[in-house]
Structure 1
Amino acid sequence: MHVLGEQQGKAVTDEAEPESADRGEKSGVSVRRRRLLRTGVNLGASAAIVAGFGADYVASRDLDTITYAMARPGPGSATLEPRTKEVPVAWHEGLRLAFEAQERIKQTGAQSLVGSFVVPGSYDSPAATLAVDATDESVADTLADLTGEVPIAMNLVDELPAEPEGTFDRSDVYQVPDLPDGRVPGGVACETDAGVGTLTPALYDADGARFFGTSNHVFGGGGTMTTEHRGEPLAVLHADGPRAVGSVARGYPTADLVRVAPDDGFRPQSAVERASPRRVVGQYTKFGLADLMARGEPLTKVGSVSDRTTGRVEGINGVTCYTGTSCKLGQLKWGGQNDIVDGDSGSVNFHVDPEHPDEGVLVGGLNNARTWWPRADFSWGTAAHHLLDEYGFHF
């Protein structure tokens, strides 16, 4: 294993020396191997299957072909069909090895590990790496047995400080000017008794039923509630005042998503207000997100407070333990910490449909949080592919 980066000023590059129970002195620091397990993370395999496609949406082991997106074949369709493309074999193989190493990290866990992401290579430099945040350098010993020859970029951080309490002027929040025929797009401000967030575009369950969504933590409790807030109203901020458009059916804490059943007369739209184009036609797979990163293609978001921002993909297929009481899987990080602000939670990031760039966009994932600690600068949230894999939900 090769560990890249620095730990509090000490180089942690480790050429492939034999591992032992006690590694002794390393970079002037005594490192003692420990067996560290994190409990409370549900690591079961995904069971959701939509339109006949399983978790990775790859029909064969042909490393030249990936399914980069799941998209609707036409307006009004609630089902998804695969979009495929050809990629370099070496790049795909490097990505596969990194995904496997990441799965081993997640299966074992480490108490001091607070974040881990797969970082795809470019097509010119195809090796993928793993970016790891940890509060104790001894996690490197655990990783050494798990990742093989996949390079690790490890950032040692102190105990994460408390999240700062954010405030914003509600006069800056985007209020939808009208709701024709009760149709409500994503990207507009939504309000609960606990705070303000941003509405997602329409989400669909495995039966094709539409529902409203936003970040679970917009209802308070740090996104930890499943049924405690069932029945609470969700309102859209409108020029004439808040309009209740639905009520909570259930929260999903480990995805930081809440499902809101539409009230009579209101209908979620597969559209993002103020995006161009507005229409949402589907979503990227984790291979599609990797392809965007390999080609340097950015993601864009439209939030109800900070409006439109754009940034590049920074890591995929992540596990984060930065916030809340439980770790979160299937995470996507992108851009910088200023690409979302308080009130943008629940917005989605997206990229134009490469096959029909003037007609629609494909969603990358939710925007749930941003960094606030030193030596970290990104935004993150649950990827759309994980919502499909784990719950059968899609955009």
Structure 2
Amino acid sequence: MDHPHTENLVHRLTTIRDHLEAGMDRREFVRTLVTGGYAIGLAGFLGVDDFLAAGDDEVPIVTALVREDPDDPWSLEERTQYVPAEWYASVEKAIELNELLARTAFTGYLGSAVVPNSYERGTAAVSVGLSSDLESIREAIDGLFNGVSLDLESIIDIEDSRDKPDDIEPRVIDSISNPDIPSGIACETAESIATLAPVMYDPETEQEFFVTAEHAFNDGAEPDSDRLSLPTENDDSVELGTVEYAHPTEDIVAVVPDDRVRPSNVIDADSPVRVRGQLTRMGLADLIARDEDLEKVGAVTGHTSGAIQGFDAVTCFTDNFCRYGQIRWGGEMDLTDGDSGSVSYYHDPDGEDEDVLVAGFNNARTWWPGQSYVWGIGAYTLNETYGYHF
């Protein structure tokens, strides 16, 4: 049983969050802290210092986790910025509505995603995919969340609309002259080709991993036995390592490097870029509000870019289970067979010219009429679920 003092604290924190969403100004916020019995030392825990530094109609959000030292993957710091309180309240409510839809999983529900509008509009939407026209869903939910609209779209004939796979001619590395293996190039399993992602870190063990898509292992990756390798121009294959963790729902595998090679934070674009950190959930919301694009480098289609179409997405299109914490971006032409395992990223506005922030993995694309985007697990979801970071 939870301790009553703990329950009381949770209730008070929830009340504070509700006031923040309503656009409380700084003096009201301080009065709420005092009347609520908060000690001044709790201010740091609540992020009050950031709040007090904002304008009366603003609140702080964490947009990214970024390395203070580019060469030290354990030096992550939170990057914050101030956003309009009205917009923030709408986005938070859209997140809650999206979670409610996903938990309900009513008949005909194929997925949904949170789509913030611009800062000027101060609103947000939830895009919902349905297998039929269920206007009753709108009637049941519309109006429960002020500032949040529902965008309902019927999706039909998914199974019959899948494209035939194209012949794959992936980008492969010339040779292994450097033990640091860049990402954005082809890697291979015993069954197929995928794209190698940048190095992923597990802070609990301080382990560095090679990463790619789990579905590249046709029957599912087997930890401690299945291996990942690297094809080269001279038709040799270099062993990268053995699968340590397989996450089928998130569609990634974490591979422990062999002694000869190690994963790198460099993405092999035309002008190579360096991963400096990753975007948070609210960081993606900020980019959507400002109409910013993401980029990727795949082993087959190379470098492409496109608009972000939603985050916290739920996808129930292809399996007998749903995938949560996804992002949607770009169009169906931004991904093809062999590109899975690549990451989408955004250039770090506060870093060096070559620095980028990872948004998430690219695992699949639409193939049915009426919708066009790439989807994959968000980097923030992996961090929240497993502690992994880039």
TM-score strictly above 0.5:
yes
Which residue of structure 2 lines up, in the alignment, with residue 126 of structure 1?
Answer: 122
Corresponding position of 1:209: 207
Residue 65 of structure 1 contacts residue 86 of structure 1 at CA under 8 Å; is this kept in 2?
Answer: yes
Write the distance in 1 (CA, Å) between the matches of 2:135 and 2:188. 41
Alpha-carbon distance change, 367 to 123 in structure 1, aligned in 2, over 3 angstroms: same
Contact 2:223 2:242 in 1 (8 A): no
Instruction: Show structure 1 runs of 5+ residues with no match.
Output: 1-56
CA distance in 1, matches of 2:163, 2:246: 24
* 1:342 aligned residue (325, 331, 337): 337
Tell me the residue number matched to 1:308: 303
- CA deviations on 1:46-77 (whole Å, 9 max, x unpaired) are xxxxxxxxxxx984694611100001111221
Q: Is residue 188 of structure 2 the alignment partner of residue 194 of structure 1?
A: no
Amino acid at match of 2:176: L
Q: Please name the residue that 2:84 is paired with.
A: 88
Partner of 1:235: 229
Within the alignment, does 1:183 sit opposite 2:180 as a pair?
yes
CA distance in 1, matches of 2:258, 2:252: 19
Letter in 2 for 1:164: D
* Preserved contact between residue 189 and residue 237 of structure 1 (Cα < 8 Å): yes
Compute the displacement of 1:354 (Å): 1.0
C-alpha contact (below 8 Å) 2:241/2:256 kept by paired residues? yes
| Contact residue 233 and residue 246 of structure 1 kept, 8 A | yes
User: For the residues of structure 2 that align with 1:173 and 1:122, how far apart are their CA atoms?
Assistant: 38
SS at match of 2:288: helix
Q: Is 1:273 equivalent to 2:268 in the alignment? A: yes
Q: Which of 358, 370, 374 in structure 1 is aligned with 2:353?
A: 358
- Give SS of 2:382's match: helix
Q: What are structure 2's unaligned runs of at least 5 residues?
A: 1-44, 52-57
Question: Cα gap change, 1:58/1:99 in structure 2, threshold over 3 Å: closer, same or farther?
Answer: farther
C-alpha distance in 1, partners of 2:196/2:153? 33
What are the within-5 Å matches in structure 2 for residues 1-395 of structure 1? 59=47, 62=51, 64-79=59-74, 80-138=76-134, 140-141=136-137, 144-145=140-141, 148-149=144-145, 150-162=148-160, 163-169=162-168, 172-207=169-204, 208-221=206-219, 225=220, 228=222, 230-240=224-234, 241-274=236-269, 276-395=271-390
CA distance in 1, matches of 2:154, 2:186: 37
Q: Is the 8 A contact 2:170 2:300 kept in 1?
A: yes
Amino acid at match of 1:166: P
- Measured after TM superposition, the shift of residue 167 of structure 1 is 2.8
Higher RCO structure, 1 or 2 (CA under 8 Å, sep 6+): 1
Q: 1:297 deviation in Å?
A: 1.1
1:19-48 deviation per Cα after TM superposition (whole angstroms, max 9, x unaligned): xxxxxxxxxxxxxxxxxxxxxxxxxxxxxx
1:235 partner letter: S
Structure 2: distance between partners of 1:330 and 1:148: 23
Q: What is the CA distance between 1:363 and its match in structure 2?
A: 0.4
- In terms of mean alpha carbon deviation, does 340-349 or 239-248 score higher? 239-248
Kindly provide the amino acid, as one letter, of the partner of residue 110 in structure 2.
V
2:171 alignment partner AA: Y
Could you say what secondary structure the match of 1:118 adopts? Answer: strand
Tell me, in whole angstroms, the C-alpha distance in 1 between the residues paired with 2:139 and 2:269: 44
- Secondary structure of 2:338's match? coil
CA distance in 2, matches of 1:160, 1:365: 24
Query: In 2 relative to 1, CA 357–325 (structure 1 residues): closer, same or farther, beyond 3 Å?
Result: farther
Three-state SS of the structure 2 residue aligned to 1:386 is: helix
Give the 4+ runs in structure 1 shifted more than 6 A.
Answer: none
Q: State the shift of 1:277 in Å.
A: 4.8
Alpha-carbon RMSD across the aligned residues, in angstroms, is 2.1
Distance 1:340 1:119 in 2: 22
User: 1:300 is paired with a residue of what secondary structure?
Assistant: strand
Instruction: Number of aligned residue pairs: give it.
Output: 333
* C-alpha spacing 1:262/1:58, structure 2 compared with 1 (3 Å): farther
CA 1:349–1:58: 2 relative to 1, 3 Å: farther
Question: 1:252: how far off?
Answer: 0.5
Contact 1:201 1:272 in 2 (8 A): yes
Does the C-alpha gap of structure 1 residues 92 and 232 become closer, same or farther in structure 2, counting only changes over 3 Å?
A: same
1:326 maps to amino acid: F
Partner deviation per Cα, 1:295-323 (whole Å, 9 max, x = no partner): 11110000000000000101011111122
Greater helix share, structure number? 2
TM-score of the superposed pair, with normalisation by structure 1: 0.80
Question: Kindly, what percent of the aligned residue pairs are identical?
Answer: 36
Q: Which amino acid aligns with 1:155?
A: E
Whole-Å separation in 1 of the counterparts to 2:273 and 2:313: 28
**DSSP-derived class of the 1:288 partner:** helix
Q: TM-score, normalised on structure 2?
A: 0.81
- Give the 3-state SS of the residue equivalent to 1:144 in structure 2: helix
Partner secondary structure for residue 358 of structure 1: coil
Between the aligned partners of 2:298 and 2:65, the Cα distance in structure 1 is: 24
Query: Shift in Å at residue 146 of structure 1?
Result: 8.0
318-327 or 183-192: which moved more?
Answer: 318-327
Instruction: Output the CA distance in 1 between the equivalents of 2:374 and 2:343.
Output: 12
